[in-house]
Amino acid sequence: MENREIDAFEEMRSQISILKEKLESENIINDRLIRKVMKFSFNRINRHAWTSIICSLLVILAAIFSFGKLGFSNYFRAFTVILMLICDYFTWKMHRNINRETMMKNLKQVTVIIRKLKEDYLGWMKYGIVIILFWGSWFCTECIVNAPAEDKTIGIIMSAGALAGLAIGAFVGLKMHRSVIRSCDEILGQIREE
């Protein structure tokens, strides 16, 4: 009788050991899947940051080389360059922790970093809208003021074109903004499921 109990006990111990191994391998697989989703989302987030920086550099080049030829004031040109550099700085600041090292941190640290990025993006939106409205108004004013005195329609047409470009830029910017927020939510959702 005692032998059967010992055998049953050994069999139970063996089964528990097998279950522990399976659970550990399952945790490893889950961690790998989470890291894979995080890598994809991190890449998407950083791609948007680089796109934003490249676009701002194009605006800086336009302000330096083209706006002067159109007769825009030096104040407006300087403001545009400084504004774009400030935007680039904040983009870099918000994204500086989104890298391979972050993906290797424990999931609590990743959660803190991603939540901070999401909060920064949501907060930046308030300032971005005000800045775009101010800059766009100033741009249109510069177009109209610098149009030939005999034909202000050119200034109005340039302003309309600028507003159309601004609307397209705002649309693309909002899409990128939503994509970053969605990527943050995907990462946080995956971590919560863990």
Q: Is 121 left (phi over 0), alpha (psi -120 to 50) or beta?
A: alpha
pLDDT at 94 over 70: yes
Residue that wins the pLDDT comparison between 129 and 2: 129
Mean pLDDT of the region 153-168: 83
Q: Please report, for residues 145, 153, 190, the alpha-carbon distance to residue 148 in angstroms, rounded to integers and kept in the order given.
A: 8, 9, 59
How much is the mean pLDDT over the chain?
82
Band of pLDDT at residue 7, cut at 50, 70 and 90: low
The two most distant CA atoms of the chain are separated, in Å, by 113
Residue that wins the pLDDT comparison between 17 and 127: 127
- In the block, tokens 């989302």 appear at 41
Q: What is the pLDDT of residue 25?
A: 55
Q: What is the pLDDT of residue 53?
A: 92
| 171, 177, 179, 184: CA torsion to nearest 10 | -170
Q: What is the pLDDT of residue 78?
A: 95
pLDDT at 158 over 90: no
96-121: per-residue pLDDT in tens? 888 777 777 777 888 888 899 999 98
Band of pLDDT at residue 29, cut at 50, 70 and 90: low
77-87: per-residue pLDDT in tens? 999 999 999 99
pLDDT at 60 over 90: yes
In sequence order, what are the residues at sequence separation of 6 or more whose Cβ sits closer than 8 angstroms to the Cβ of residue 138?
76, 79
What is the CB-side half-sphere exposure of residue 84 using CA atoms within 13 A? 18
